[in-house]
Structure 1
Amino acid sequence: MKKLLFMFGLLLSLTVQANEDVHLDKAPINPSNLPSLQRGAKVFVNYCLNCHSATSMRYNRLKDIGLTDEQIKANLLFAGEKVGETMQVGMKPRDAKAWFGAPPPDLSVIARSRTPDWLYTYLRGFYRDETRPTGWNNVAFANVGMPHALWELQGEQHLQVQETKDIEGNAVVSHHLVLAKPGKMAPAEYDAMVADLVNYLTFMAEPAKSKRLQLGIIVLLALAFFFMIAFALKKEFWKDVH
């Protein structure tokens, strides 16, 4: 029991330390914004699904965000997949391990394991680092093995290190990302696209969440209604006793 408590405390301290080390930007997502979810699904299929799979997600679940089967076939299926199939990737795990050192992770529930804020910071936090095998590093994931798949859209950022001193004379080191080479998108446009992508990843992690919440509210209202009926019956049955 003491060992379990020790391990739990250690994991908790590591989690707190990780959250303190990385500043996470707030992801401006809106699960009820269907156009944003549709745009995010398009970005995911065109850029992420080349390497990452989403084996817990079926294409026909995109009908929950307002797309029809015809729209899914015309805009999101490029290799003869069927609407009822899961989002598989064509790259074999053996080839992925040879090219990247490890197979890219499945992204089905990445928003639940990493949080939307982390994903939003991560996808906007790549910068050039010639010491890395891919030439890229990331402020949210130090020494990341993934290359910057969206660099043509965002451009190239450099990490600027600035050292200042506080009122007590102690050195304070701060890091800032500077856009050294603009991409095809303006910074605001790229941030909006990343927000759409993170919005979709959040939806994909739990597609039935909105319906589940609606059903939960209906159940609670029904229980409250029957509670009032039961309370009235109780008063009626016991009125002569009291």
Structure 2
Amino acid sequence: MKKTPTYFLFDIKNNTAYITVNRPDKLNALNTLVLKELSEILITLEANEDVRGIILTGAGDKAFVAGADIKEFQEFSSDEAWQLSKSGQEEVMDNLYTFPKPVIAAINGFALGGGLELAMACHIRVASEEAKMGLPEVSLGIIPGYGGTQRLPQLVGRGKALEMIMTGDPIDARDALQWGLVNYVVSQKELISTCERLLERIYQRSNMAISAAIRAVNIGLMEPEKGYEEEMDAFANAFDTPDFQEGVAAFLEKRKPNF
């Protein structure tokens, strides 16, 4: 990073970028400045060839991100609210969702509203046993604005998503695991190490193939009619890459590939 982040703790170790939302006194709530800074961090990390994956979490042991900074909403007009939703989705949530390197959300506490939307934009979610997740926006007379109405049904199905959105009630980590909202539930002390082990396994595979797979999966979800075509193209294009040559050679020589 060219400058020290204001709202984040940031570190890079062993090809992994650690991004920690650092507003524990506000339960790591999102506002426009936090989202802008996160967008800048993601742009930097995408261009950094030394970074192969990201772990995103929140400071402290109470919250991943407890939601948006509601005080910021008070004076917004509908036009300003629309622009907030648009910029948040396009510059942060969509960027995370389509990020060409694996991003794991380490959900260490409350992930509510925009916090859950942030976690759902990541590729994989690991939750601590104490975590609680929900979209309580209807309690404020609004609805989720950072992709929650679209990504939650993809993960838990239409019925459970509508229940969570319409009641606004959070669910605990075990229910989140049962419904497919998170991949793993672990103790708080094992949270980051579990994410690190997942990334270590991913790092043994081809970066190129992983990026292509992320893109193919995302296109299939966002534009189902184009998903199979994207998969066929990516599959074929892989045959012209050094990673394919190395992967096949390693398989035939009964050794680990050197990607």
TM-score between both structures, scaled by the size of structure 2: 0.23
Give the structure with higher Rg (CA): 1
| Higher relative contact order, chain-length normalized (CA < 8 Å, sep 6+) | 1
